[in-house]
Structures are given as structure tokens and as C-alpha cells.
Structure 1
Amino acid sequence: MLKINPYLDDIEISVIRKIAEAASEYKNIKEGKKLINLTIGEPDLPQSMIIKEETANYIMDAKLGYSQLGGVLELREEIAKYYKNKYNVDVKPDEIIITVGSTEGLSTAIKTVILPGDEVITPLPVYPGYEPLIILAGAKLIKVDTSKDNYELTVETLKRYVNEKTKAIILNYPSNPSGVVISEKNRDEILKFVKENNIYIISDEVYSEILFEGKHNTFLQNNFRDNVILVNGFSKSHSLTGWRIGYVISSKKIRDYLIKVHQYTVTSASIISQKGALIALKKCSCIDEQVKIYKERAIRVYDRLQNAGINAIKPKGAIYIFVSIGEGNSLKFAEKLLESQRVAVVPGIAFGMDNFIRLSLVSHLDELLEATDRIIEFINSNRV
């Protein structure tokens, strides 16, 4: 056999996808309980009709072709305006690249700044999509236990892991899977630390709009632009998962390198999806209502678990609940739960924490509560 990139030997298809595929086998089984699939973090809330209708009209009326490499100027201008209005951060359109979803944004950022032999730090629990990208870059992901600080990274913890090989930190707040957010104090201290130590932050802020309390403390700040690459998108905030549209923001200096990777990976994002994103930013008022729905789901499921004596990390944002299962094998737990209760969840080992499972809050409330009751029943029946 001809040689394949050896880094791929260290990469597996994600546990999330494996469990989701296993769950699909139960979908058409009519006997027993109905399958409730809480694996994939794909919003179930409807996409705005304004976005659909105006994009459809655009498709019929416009000549469709490639956009500029960095994306449609009007969309980049609207994103820049958004960050100024919401966070008082000065962003220019030529500091933005429109990407094929936030995943391409992450991949582009990592390919741009990470070299073989580098180390990249990230707090646990960690979204499993980061490590394969780091491995493909020939680097190593260093996973940091943050449980003593309520799963929030602090400078004190960071200092224990930084060495001469440290090139970057990947952060994800609000967190997938925990729903934890970062405080303004910790955000500011981390920014100051990376600037002093010439370290990049790749900040995945795709859940920034889905907050249940407080405000989002973005890492994109005026005085730290040369250290930060921000990644965001429209899949979670506007339920535009199938449109595959995201963006990266950095200083112009970094952006001039990011655009090279972006060009030779995808050329440019779909001009149709870019039009949909532009309409979402300018005309969609759906976010507040969606957050209200996610918040009610999170509170009701969390309270149900707590009342049953089952611990979970109380989410302050995102669309998940991370539930403690005590000591045990989370993959085996998830497999047995699926088999006996027809509830599909993601084992915590996928996020580097084997004593948890993740529930996605992407089903109707009644179905979520039914799934929660089945999980409680399963845990109680398996307690020694």
C-alpha cells in the first residue's frame, strides 16, 4: 500500500459521531421505548423564514459566482459593525475572513500558527474536534484540569503548563460541553499573560450568543489583537448548521497569512451562504427567543437531575448539560443507556472526562424531560 500521512494513525472518527450512528440503528425499531437522540449539537429550532425567503430570492435574481477570497465585503462590514456595537472592539473588514463554517476557521487558524513540535494548551473538558487538527499539524494538545476552578481556566493554572514549546491556547467559552463561561477578570489576566509570553489564543466563540446569565467576555480586545484569532459562526446563534458559514477575525498582520491557508483550502465560502448570513445579521431578531427556549430547557433538566441527587455542571450558556455519572466507564454507560432506555448521549471520555456524559438540549422540552427521567431511572437502577 502506498504511504498515508502517519499523523492520521493517531486520529479516530469522533466518539460523538459513533454514538450518533449507533443510535440511528434504533430509530426504526417500533418495539419498546421511542429513541431520544441527545448526541449531536445541532439546533432543533427553526431557521428564520426571512433568511430562507430572501436568500431564495437572491438565488433566483443574482448571478452566482465566487466571492472575494475573504468573503463578501458587505458581510464583513456588518460583522465589523456588530463587534463595535456589542463589544466596543474596533474591527476592520480586511481583518475578517468568511469561512466554510467555524470548523474551517479553526483549521485555518491552526494551520497558520502551529508548527510540528509545538504544544497547544486547552482546558478540560474540551471539544473533541480540536485535537485531530492539532495532531495533523504535528503538534501536541495539552489538556488542563480546571475542575478546582469550576472548570474555568485561570492564569495560575496556565502558568503550571506553559513552557518553551507552548505556541497557543485554544479556548471555548461558553463551553461545549460544560456551558461554563469565563469571567472578565480571568479573561483579562489571560490576555495579559499571553501578550507578555508571546502566545496565541485561538478563541472559539461559536456559542457567544447563547447566554443564560451575565455577558459574554470575548477575547477579541483592542489592545491584544496580535495575540488573538477569534473563530465564530452562524450555526448555533441562528440555527444555520447546513449553511456552513463562519468567520475568523484577527489583526491584519495575521489575517494576511490566514488568507493564504483559506484560499488553498476552500478558495472562498459559498456566496449563497454568505447572503444568508448577511440577512441573519441585518434582519433576524430570533436570537433572544431562541436563548429563552434553551435557558428554560437547561434549567428544567438541571433541576430535575439535582432533585434526583444527580450532579451536573450548571450551564450558563451553550446548548448542553454535562452530567456526572460518578466513577465508571462513560462509553460503556452510554452504550448501556442506549440499549436499555433508548436514550443516546455522548460519553464524557470524548471530552477528556470519563466520569461525565453530555446531553444536547436540542429536543422539545417534554422529550428532554422524558430522557432525563430515563437517565435518572438508569442511574438509580445501576447504583450499588
Structure 2
Amino acid sequence: DLFTMFMFYEVALIPMYLLIGVWGSGHKEYSAMKLTLMLMGGSAFLLIGILGIYYGAGATSMNLLEIAQMHNIPIEQQRIWFPLTFLGFGVLGALFPFHTWSPDGHASAPTAVSMLHAGVLMKLGGYGCFRIAIYLMPEAAQELGWIFLILTGISVVYGAFSACVQTDLKYINAYSSVSHCGLVLFAILMMNRTACTGAILQMLSHGLMTALFFALIGMIYGRTHTRDVRELSGLMKIMPFLAVCYVIAGLANLGLPGLSGFIAEMTIFTGSFQHPDTFHRVWTVIACSSIVITAVYILRLIGKILYGTCTNKHHLTLSDATWDERTAVIILIACVAALGMAPWWISGMIGDSVLPIVNAL
């Protein structure tokens, strides 16, 4: 239901503002206000787009299936409503250049809020772009999709490059999220079954990986009271459990085979390169370069904070993870590994689910 979708888009913003603005850290008021204003701007575009779809289709209800099956939106109107709807949801999916709310929001939010923010909230953007913008306006998606393909391609590469120059652990993971969420929108715009299946797999994979990363960052910060990469070193000897888990999360993020990141990204790039158009293939090659950039900042980060000699004597007395922290981390790692080593059961289900939408395209 279009109205329900919009309502929960708005409902998701209210607790985020309070959770970051009241219980956050650092520049929490600025980050909360920036997040709210940018997403409210996106929701304004979305509201116009949804009303345009409803009246343009001459529908009697806001039921998605009814509009898709029984009504036809004129192409002249699709050219107007598609960019507004895709942009409205794309802001929530950290679409360049409207992504800047995400890193600041991540950095200022409490650990649990960062996990929900990246793992759940940002996925609403990709889902809406696919389920509403592309599904209900396929002709405009085919005609105007190249514009957003360029923006999502920039998101993928720019987010990875930005992560390379950050010194705050949360900002590194936040810009990494911009890159990985950009892959979701990038794959959706290829509009074939393999790429769209990869986009959904990436949503699942990124939600698990990023939640794991933010959980570990929160645990490390709770002990060291710093997220500055320049002030951390030699943590592998001090807190071996957390350090090993951080290595696993990093390897999943850079796409190591056997973990969920590899399955999702390989499916996306395979499906994207299946597109017969040279323009789409060139941008696929550009997006593929993000794999190398991701490996650079992940391996540099792991080498800097986990290995070597601990230079802060106060860190030598720190404790490793408690049993409840170990339980949470192990569950997330098990999910990441299960999706990476046995993806066929869920990829088949996703492929069957996206097929009706792809056939409509």
C-alpha cells in the first residue's frame, strides 16, 4: 500500500531524531537535525511522486498490485513521477549527492542505533526504489534510469574512496555503507533477474556485516574510549576475541569468498555485466573497482589497530568481550558465514520473488 509505505517512511524518522539527538555523542544535535532535514526533504519528493502515481493511474485505491495490474500511468506522467519517487527513496538509500546525512548520523548515534540505522533503515530506500518506482513506472525506468545509474556508480566509488581517508572507526564504516548501499541501487537499475537478486542479497549481507562492524566498534570504544584509528594499535594481544571477529567482519566487507559479501557482490556484477548496452557495462567496470578500494582501507585498518605494538599503556589492562557480547557477535558471524557458504536456498527464493517484477520490465 503506497500510503502505508509513506507513513512508515515518516515514522522511521521520528525515533531516529530522538535516539541520535538525545542519546547520541559528539555533534549529536547537528547530526540529528541534518538527518531529519535531508530525509524530510526526500519524503517531500516521495509524497509528490506517490500522489502523482495515484492520480495519474486513475486508481481507486493505493494498492500496489492493483495499480500495477489494472492501471497504466501515461509515459508523460511517468517521466515526472519516476525521478521524484526514486529520489525520495534514494535519499534513504544514501544516493549521491544526498548521502551526507548517513555518515554523520552513524558517527553520532549510539551503537545499537547505528546497527539498526545501517542494517534496517537504509534498506527501506532500496526496497522502495525497486518495489514502487521501477515496478509501477517501468517505461520511465528504462528511459531515465541511466541518470540514476551514474549517481549510484559515483556513490559506490566515492563512498569507498572516502572511507580510505577517514580516521574515525564509525566514519570508515559509515562511508563503507554508502558504497555498499550504492551497489543495491546500482544493481536494481540494471533491471534483470540476476542483478536484482544480487541487490536483495546485498541488502541482507550488508545489514548483517554492518551491524557486526558497528557492534564491534561499540565494544572497542567502550573499553578504549576512543574511535580514532591513530590512537589504537596492538589490540589483537589485548582483546583477541574482538580482534579476530573484527578481522572476519572486515574480510566479509571486502568480499572474501565463503562470506556473504562475496556472494552478493558477485551476483550483482555478474548480472550487471549481462546487460547488453555498452554504457551499462562501462559503469559496471567502474563499480567493480570499488572491490580494490575496499580491500585497501579494510586491510590498512586491520593492520593499524589490531597488529603491531600497543603504544598506549592504559590499553594493556583492558578486558576482552563478555559472554553476552560474544553471543551477539557469534550469532551475526554465523549468519554472515551461512549466507556466504550456502546461499542457494535464499538466492533461489529471492530470484523467484523478483521474477514477476523483472518480467513486467
TM-score (norm 1): 0.24
> Going by fraction, where is strand more abundant, 1 or 2?
1
Whose relative contact order is higher, 1 or 2, with alpha carbons under 8 Å and at least 6 apart? Answer: 1
> Going by fraction, where is helix more abundant, 1 or 2?
2
TM-score (norm 2): 0.25
